[in-house]
Structure 1
């Protein structure tokens, strides 16, 4: 059956079909979103709970533990971790990748409701949750600065005006605000004055709460009119509160200003942000899932002038971070690489055929196939990203293969004197099954990725389907458009009318065939030696795979660095601020740095800070992001009590089910015995710090947070009529920035915050000045019923899967791979000799690397099995697929040897290159074997004669297709611009594998074919089955 026949007869229909493919693809291209990497949805839900004033241990035991028990009953929870700090608990739940996030959210809310009765009664509100996708980095950060307004006022503008407006922009998801908190009326009480006038803290709290209310008051009306009833029950500013009467002393009014300092401040004074040298409030903008980053950022930028106009004149709205320039540059570079690849492939065709008109035919197949692929991408909801564009770049060399095979076969018939129309029919029919075998088996390789599950399936789904779609469209084009054009564009062969290039092409081809025939004959006389080389190649594959350095993913240069400043446990906010300033100034003065933004305090704790470093474009700095980090580490001043950890921001983040780590890799120690964890954790940290393979280690250095424990004499307290609830209420009023009332505004709500004057919270001895009310109304100092003790405790308590845990974050030292670093860590931990109740777990990138390392051999095996099954079905043979698969070991050696020789690392991108090699290299064997079977079947040739003839006839298309694939991948290897670190490993793997396999398989394939043919005959003879070639008709 000739599938191409109807299309050769109907040129108009064929052209219109191709045009329809182009139109569908062109329209779809304009609708595709743009992103750095495919959308990866890690189903993560973050639950936040607060209890102002509670210690980390209290938060862990009374809030985190009840929530974790409820969450533990939810199906599909992959990891669950929590972190409790002063007054705050954060629980992170990561679900299985196939879990519906909306269904999980409903179950999380139900679990929160179920734990209501187990949570402390003093919580102002129930825990809240939000759905997040930690794999997606923010697309933009804006900063608000002013020389006139306070930070609280800037935060209010960001919350009430900017955040609302930005959230309405198409494509914008969550807008987070940091660097300060909402304005508030702060009441800082003087304990000595309160004691002098006999006023209790609760008296002040109740007076303020009762003086500031906002309740419905109804209306009055007569027969004609209606009046709304209002009252001056809302106090809005600090001056309104100063004159409140809280007590009468001998008939004289005692006002709030007599016992407290009342000011307009912020809700949380332990929170500060910056942009370069200015104090700032930051707006961190995230995109919605599937939104086009470039369009979203452009829309935000278009709104900025209007937003600036509604802000006070003294406020400056600055662009602190923008991911779009790097993404634009990366995608532009990928598009240029695609164009270069197309040009190189066309050049190959032109040089081999020496005919400009003939070279146009496969040239047309390339745009039709690639543009048609955009329609499939749109249909599947894909985006234009680094991986999908890499698939299209590689597809350039693959889609032209089919057209080359058809064109070369038809050209060969024309050169033999067959008229072009008849040659088109005959040539297309001869290679129809060959094309089907090559493409179906190639598609099987990439579609096998979809069955691998986990991170690899999610990450490479778009790559594999995009490439498979391009291959299928190419197959359609090569069986329709290509033979039709050959029938009408190629001229009949006229001896003696060749141009100079055609003569050079023909002579070069004759010379190559002659040399190949001589060497092939020698190989066929020494088949055992050739077969031995194949087995040696298999062994070399295994050896190289063991010794080649391995990593998870190439380190990207996104033009962004993330910095974490970790202070010693127990450092106060005022002590931490100057340390952060030292780091900020050191980073900002580096010549590669464009800007620095960040914040300190807030939910991260007073001794933690975050920094976002924006680098200059790579052409201006001439250093990779990693090199900039290494330089900053060397030049960074030593700051006692604090450490700055820098890491290159990555488009793909792992470890979303746990707290943000300060480095690329992390390990977790976990135990049900808190005492054992505290005993062995420092030993592990010491062992890891001694490893030269690691750098930027971030670990807890013991229990360094100072804690004051109030020891209450319960008998004495009972005699005086004081219970523990009264004691804790007094402490809560005095030291926890307690929010005691709400101020309602037309745009927002603000809090009234009460605490003792900060000068009375600087030393534990001031606890003696706090008084508590006894049962008979008397006021006694706390020291009457209690004393305090100082101790060192944790400033945060972490849980992993409901068990106490501690983490260690680190980076690999320069020149050290993940595999080498992981091996060194395992040896060091083994020497420590941990007990059975202390468990070590890898997390984040290290966890992802360990998981893929175990599954990589099975992935490759799965792809090989898929190819074998497909080829076995197509050829109706158990033996011939083995001959085709015998070409693959040489490709593996070439790829691994190239990586090893050039000092590279085997990553997931390299693994992707191996999958591609599995699909490409077997094409050569299919071209040979399919023709050899035809010659045996139709011309009665012996196996030796048929395979030799097939090798010589198919040499030119094999060389053309291989060289096209090599040159299609060459721009990937030579890329030096943005995004090159993702493309280079793929180019190196493919080119190295193709060159080595091209040399070897031209000789090993015919030898393996002959040996397996003998094996087939013996097996059939043993079974008593005929072995005529005519009986082996493929599908």
Structure 2
């Protein structure tokens, strides 16, 4: 009977060419694969933003955020909707279900904004805008612009008109954001006293400026064959052009703008500052396009920098203050290094067992062919070269060699028995073809549940699972085609070898033979004491449960990416000028640290944070240049140093490649309180926050609830207003014209558009008492002092107002000290909530990464059960048996015990990476049982052996390939377990879990599997007899095996 491999053995040229084709496809795919730190996870997220200069947080929340929330809340598929309103701005974050199409969601968002527009304030000059964002995709580069000659406004203008446009043309660049200042503008600072003397209202100034600055088409005139376009000097472009503008006439004399205001060239927003390199700076933040290669994108930006420096003004210096690529390059280099070491170790293991170079060449070819061919599959699937996919290939090194080992070892055994290499290859491939198929398919079955997971875990590890499955599938094909063909051409009997094995191989095989003899004796004892073996299996199950519960749980290993995100939070009454000074002081402290390479930062109201906030981007030196200090150790030192600056807190956390959730906060993890009773929320949030500050397992505890900002509360006397002919609308317009940085006109230039901003002179905006100097022009044209109908008093007001799901919300964010697991922090928070007796009217929930951990914990056990069930179903179909798959799966408790015990020994958290290691063990350790059971069943069916004799012989016969495949898989994981350098914290849990599981499994399953085989075989016979299918009792104690 011909086998599948026969045609490939008889046609070596065709087989070689097919193998070369697989390698070529893989090499081509490798060159085309994008590079990223982790698989691309596109969270369907849309950010809606609206601005209304001068509006308070309360006003923005009630008049802008609330109508938008009601309209947007009707969109299907929203997982979470949050809003944050601060001075002059509102931002809403809509996070959709992962399966939701982002383009369809964007159309729904635009329709909802259009529907809400009539409900928004008429003073909202521009419609709310939206853009698609990916919260998990951090910027790839930050470029700082500094100059000793130009102002920040001029640098911002150059960055906006030249630099950003050129950057967006670079392949791979998705978005460019400019911060640290704003565009140039003409600022008109009004003198209320002068306006009162001239009888001109504050609101009239805006109208006059707008009328005097018009850019409209004027048409053309024609005569005969000539045409003249009409143009006029209707555009006032500089402060000098605006100063002589006539605002009104008094007693026949012109009142010019310069008579009642100071007009000068400045910027749109004075309360916005960036710093880098110890100087005022404009910061250009670059984000990659979806699925773009980060390293290639960064390289293209660097290649374009000389050209961009030529385009910029000569006095502007461009400095890269943050670049993600060095740590990504280093991390991927470490994984690639681990992959090469793993391949070398695996081939070394094979050589030690086989002892002959010619035979070792066979798996030495199978391994790289399987791994290289996988790159082609990765490209077709749209994957990337990232830490997880390369880790999958590193682990696969120990798997893909297994199939080749099984075929090679069986063929080599037949050669030693006297068959020719051709006959040995044909017979050996036929004998183990089903075994190889069973091992490969049952291992691939472990990853089937990942294909049905639509949550973050499924998206994150789909590339890992498919990459590993593809390498195993290619390995299966290679082991049934190329490997037997090479066996037929390269194998020689040991007696035919011209040179004896080297002494290392001889010693190794002598030792292995001694171990095998000892194993035979101990196995006989184990079969005679089956109850003890079954008890040991039960103990392993109990210890699995105990260790799983005892191990600290985390979501994803904390990475040391060499970057730290810092958030500043000042006193709620702090001024912008004070925050700018504190930013400079803190950046000086950070830059003085020996582990810090660069730092850039900004503060002000350019973004959507409150007015007392700021941010920093800190880049650390490479690990080798900072005395092997982790980013957490650097943060602890900087945290202590930052306390020297009074009136501000600096919260820092390591930047992670994986970030779940769309909300921004001052720390990595969030716990959100919600209530429909705003007063209850404002009462209980500080109590909970203070209680958590006292907990040692939490650091950087802070909240986004800021309701102690200072406000001047105006009380209108409506009777007096009526007497004076003034309405609240007229008074509000007057105040907004003076204090709201009101944009009244647009200056159109060739490459950009600039604004004219009107406000009162600074001496009228710095103290509440200066309100007495404001006058309001009534309906009769008379100037009425504001104090004639208004009283005021200082009060407290929120600097920001936050909603979640249209309810008032406050988010407490926190970081973790080094060594503390996220699950431990969650337990602390749940305990404290109970201790302070928080009422049911205030509910709390974890958000972002903390919520993802909760969700993943719910699915972990289900994922493990699904993987075991999938393996059972595949094995049941292959063996046409309900019993034998259970025997094979009995190897799992010992593997799980070894993995959990190894993690516990090295004090490592149980994260998703460790979970993947245990899932892989489900596929790895069952190979031992498959090899035992296949040969035992063969002996029973073809030679009529008793089950005990058959399993005993199978264990001894397959001892060498079992040891070889196990050691190959183990040494494939050793480089990950022992790895150091960049990204080691991501690789180590996987390697440690696999090595620990394999060691424990090898010690136990060599004894428990044969015992379980006999017990289940006996149980199967009893069931058969009970069903009337009696058979002879085959379990009499056999004679001692030879």
2:1040 counterpart residue number: none
CA contact (8 A) 1:936 1:1029 kept: no
- After superposition, give the CA deviation of every residue in 1:581-617 in whole Å (9 maximum; x if it has no partner): 2211110100000010011112223211010001111
2:640 counterpart residue number: 634
SS at match of 2:105: helix
Asked if 1:653 corresponds to 2:669, the answer is no
1:615 counterpart residue number: 620
Residues 803 and 1027 of structure 1: CA distance in aligned 2, closer, same or farther (over 3 Å): farther
Residue 1026 of structure 1 deviates from its aligned partner by: 5.7
1:4 counterpart residue number: 5
Residue 635 of structure 1 deviates from its aligned partner by: 2.5
Instruction: Flag structure 2 segments of 5+ consecutive residues without an equivalent.
Output: 1035-1042
> How far apart are the structure 2 equivalents of 1:643 and 1:492?
75
> How far apart are the structure 2 equivalents of 1:208 and 1:300?
42
Equivalent positions of 1:924-963 (< 5 A) are 924-963=928-967
SS at match of 2:799: coil
> How far apart are the structure 2 equivalents of 1:1029 and 1:250?
126
> How far apart are the structure 1 equivalents of 2:76 and 2:405?
53
**Higher deviation after alignment, 146-155 or 244-253:** 244-253
> How far apart are the structure 2 equivalents of 1:210 and 1:896?
76
Residue 816 of structure 1 deviates from its aligned partner by: 1.8
Residue 192 of structure 1 deviates from its aligned partner by: 1.0
**Higher deviation after alignment, 273-282 or 249-258:** 249-258
Equivalent position to 2:918, from 914, 918, 943: 914
Task: Tell me how many residue pairs correspond in the alignment.
Answer: 1028
SS at match of 2:495: coil
> How far apart are the structure 1 equivalents of 2:1031 and 2:275?
81
1:792 counterpart residue number: 796
- After superposition, give the CA deviation of every residue in 1:623-677 in whole Å (9 maximum; x if it has no partner): 1111111121223233332100011011111122x2x111111100100111111
SS at match of 1:494: helix
CA contact (8 A) 1:600 1:608 kept: yes
Asked if 1:164 corresponds to 2:165, the answer is yes
> How far apart are the structure 2 equivalents of 1:997 and 1:167?
54
SS at match of 1:205: helix
CA contact (8 A) 1:665 1:845 kept: yes
CA contact (8 A) 2:87 2:611 kept: no
SS at match of 1:261: strand
- After superposition, give the CA deviation of every residue in 1:155-178 in whole Å (9 maximum; x if it has no partner): 001100000000010010010000
> How far apart are the structure 1 equivalents of 2:669 and 2:451?
27
Residue 992 of structure 1 deviates from its aligned partner by: 0.5
SS at match of 2:8: helix
- After superposition, give the CA deviation of every residue in 1:534-565 in whole Å (9 maximum; x if it has no partner): 00100000000111111111111111110000
CA contact (8 A) 1:937 1:1029 kept: no
Residues 1002 and 733 of structure 1: CA distance in aligned 2, closer, same or farther (over 3 Å): same
> How far apart are the structure 1 equivalents of 2:480 and 2:511?
29
> How far apart are the structure 2 equivalents of 1:577 and 1:301?
31
Residues 1029 and 647 of structure 1: CA distance in aligned 2, closer, same or farther (over 3 Å): farther
Equivalent position to 1:597, from 593, 600, 608: 600
CA contact (8 A) 1:354 1:505 kept: no
Residue 721 of structure 1 deviates from its aligned partner by: 2.4
SS at match of 1:180: coil
1:724 counterpart residue number: 728
> How far apart are the structure 2 equivalents of 1:45 and 1:978?
33
SS at match of 1:115: helix
> How far apart are the structure 1 equivalents of 2:589 and 2:472?
52
> How far apart are the structure 1 equivalents of 2:496 and 2:369?
34
- After superposition, give the CA deviation of every residue in 1:743-774 in whole Å (9 maximum; x if it has no partner): 00000000000000122111122222222122
CA contact (8 A) 1:353 1:505 kept: no
Residue 702 of structure 1 deviates from its aligned partner by: 5.8
> How far apart are the structure 1 equivalents of 2:682 and 2:899?
47
> How far apart are the structure 2 equivalents of 1:85 and 1:815?
36
1:75 counterpart residue number: 76
Residue 270 of structure 1 deviates from its aligned partner by: 0.6
SS at match of 2:994: helix
**Higher deviation after alignment, 334-343 or 811-820:** 811-820
Residues 1027 and 876 of structure 1: CA distance in aligned 2, closer, same or farther (over 3 Å): farther
> How far apart are the structure 1 equivalents of 2:814 and 2:497?
72
1:526 counterpart residue number: 529
Residue 248 of structure 1 deviates from its aligned partner by: 2.1
> How far apart are the structure 1 equivalents of 2:763 and 2:1005?
82
Equivalent positions of 1:739-758 (< 5 A) are 739-758=743-762
2:39 counterpart residue number: 38
SS at match of 1:807: strand
2:15 counterpart residue number: 14
> How far apart are the structure 2 equivalents of 1:937 and 1:636?
77
Residue 513 of structure 1 deviates from its aligned partner by: 1.9
- After superposition, give the CA deviation of every residue in 1:785-835 in whole Å (9 maximum; x if it has no partner): 221122101110000110000111111123321121111111111111111
> How far apart are the structure 2 equivalents of 1:948 and 1:82?
68
1:392 counterpart residue number: 393
Equivalent positions of 1:371-520 (< 5 A) are 371-494=372-495, 499-501=500-502, 503-504=506-507, 506-520=509-523
> How far apart are the structure 2 equivalents of 1:293 and 1:497?
53
Equivalent position to 2:578, from 556, 575, 578: 575
Equivalent positions of 1:283-322 (< 5 A) are 283-322=284-323
SS at match of 2:446: helix
Equivalent positions of 1:806-845 (< 5 A) are 806-845=810-849
> How far apart are the structure 2 equivalents of 1:1028 and 1:308?
90
CA contact (8 A) 1:447 1:468 kept: no
SS at match of 2:633: helix
Residue 1028 of structure 1 deviates from its aligned partner by: 9.0
> How far apart are the structure 1 equivalents of 2:379 and 2:446?
22
> How far apart are the structure 2 equivalents of 1:829 and 1:1027?
65
Equivalent positions of 1:298-377 (< 5 A) are 298-377=299-378
Residue 503 of structure 1 deviates from its aligned partner by: 4.5
2:1038 counterpart residue number: none
> How far apart are the structure 2 equivalents of 1:520 and 1:296?
59
- After superposition, give the CA deviation of every residue in 1:896-930 in whole Å (9 maximum; x if it has no partner): 11111111111110001011111101111111111
Residue 273 of structure 1 deviates from its aligned partner by: 0.4
1:125 counterpart residue number: 126
- After superposition, give the CA deviation of every residue in 1:829-879 in whole Å (9 maximum; x if it has no partner): 111111111010101111111111122111111111111111111111111
Residue 719 of structure 1 deviates from its aligned partner by: 3.0
**Higher deviation after alignment, 572-581 or 81-90:** 572-581
Residues 503 and 222 of structure 1: CA distance in aligned 2, closer, same or farther (over 3 Å): same
> How far apart are the structure 1 equivalents of 2:151 and 2:361?
68
Instruction: Flag structure 1 segments of 5+ consecutive residues without an equivalent.
Output: 1031-1035
> How far apart are the structure 1 equivalents of 2:700 and 2:670?
11
Residues 868 and 828 of structure 1: CA distance in aligned 2, closer, same or farther (over 3 Å): same
> How far apart are the structure 2 equivalents of 1:150 and 1:484?
74
**Higher deviation after alignment, 501-510 or 221-230:** 501-510
CA contact (8 A) 2:643 2:649 kept: no
1:1033 counterpart residue number: none
2:255 counterpart residue number: 254
> How far apart are the structure 2 equivalents of 1:814 and 1:325?
24
> How far apart are the structure 1 equivalents of 2:17 and 2:497?
37
2:588 counterpart residue number: 585
> How far apart are the structure 2 equivalents of 1:611 and 1:848?
26
> How far apart are the structure 2 equivalents of 1:430 and 1:508?
28
> How far apart are the structure 1 equivalents of 2:462 and 2:1033?
40
